[in-house]
Amino acid sequence: MPIVHNVDFVELAGYTSDETGGTPAIRFLKDLDAPIEGRDVLIVEDVVDTGLTLHYLVKTFRLRSPRSLAAVTLLDRPYRRLVDDLPVRYVGFTVPDEFFIGYGFDIDEKYRNLPDLHVLV
Q: Show me where the domains of the chain are located.
A: 37-119
The answer to whether 108 is a known catalytic residue is: no
Q: According to the model, what pLDDT value does residue 86 have?
A: 95
41, 66 Cβ separation under 8 angstroms:
yes
Please spell the DSSP secondary structure of 18-45, one letter per residue: TTTTT--EEEEEE--SS--TTSEEEEEE
Q: In this structure, which amino acid lies at residue 51?
A: G
Of 31, 49, 84, 97, which residue is the catalytic one? Answer: 49
Digitized pLDDT (tens) for each residue of the chain, 121 residues in all:
788 899 999 999 887 666 656 677 899 999 999 999 999 999 999 999 999 999 999 999 999 999 999 999 999 999 999 998 899 999 999 999 999 999 999 999 999 999 999 999 9
CATH-assigned architecture of domain 37-119: 3-Layer(aba) Sandwich (3.40)
**Start-to-end CA span in the chain (Å):** 36
pLDDT value at residue 19 = 61
* Residues linked to residue 75 through DSSP beta bridges, in sequence order: 47, 93
Residue 18 C-alpha from the chain's centroid: 26
Supply the pTM of this predicted model. Answer: 0.86
The predicted pLDDT at position 67 comes to 98
Please tell me the predicted confidence (pLDDT) of residue 14: 83
